[in-house]
Amino acid sequence: MAPEQVIGRAGQAADVFVWGVTVAYAATGQPPFGTGETHAVLYRVMHSDPDISAVPQPLRPLVAAALDKAPERRPTARELLDQLTGTAMRSQPVPDSLTETVLAKTWQRTRPQPGWPGAGRQAREPEDSLLLAPVSSASGPSGPRPPRAGKGRISRRAKTVGAAALAVAAVAAAVAVIEMVPGNGP
């Protein structure tokens, strides 16, 4: 819960704060404001700095900015997306479809199967992204190798997709909660 939600003045910046909390938790396995009684955690949300020291360095500045106590100093969701997908660093225009941009950055090596929409289009070349590390050349031209049986490890891509899905679910839940509060309706 964002600091402004605690005092009943939540807006869109609260969703960015919740994104930061969710990513910090997904990256570290620990809530950035600790655990304990609800009132104690809410006090820390209002008055303490989050512990994001274990968040990987490429994400840490974005998470820190999202967890700023002042909503007006937090980045917008669009600014976060641009930073995560690398579009903020490009001089060329961004495609009209936001979904197309995100998919192009996160599923670079996925090739459409015959009969799928867009199967005849050329696959995009990989670009730098904070979402996924480039697939090594050892994976070959047909894409990454399937995971080996018995390893019991979750791939980096699966973890990233899971964290992204969790972040989307958290934002949706936050919006639903905000809509339920009297006076915050559309």
Query: Which tens digit of pLDDT belongs to each residue from 110-120?
Result: 444 565 555 55
- Give CA torsion, residues 177, 82, 52, 3, to 10 deg: -30
Query: Would you state the pLDDT for residue 110?
Result: 47
pTM of the full predicted structure?
0.51
For 4-29, what is the mean pLDDT?
92
Query: Would you state the pLDDT for residue 148?
Result: 52
SS3 26: helix
Nearest alpha carbon to residue 103 among 123, 75, 80: 123
SS3 116: coil
Tell me which amino acid residue 7 is: I
Digit-coded pLDDT (tens) for 37-94: 999 999 999 999 999 999 998 899 999 999 999 999 999 999 998 888 876 555 555 5
Tell me the average pLDDT of the chain. 74
DSSP single-letter state for residue 134: P
pLDDT over 90 at 21, yes or no: yes
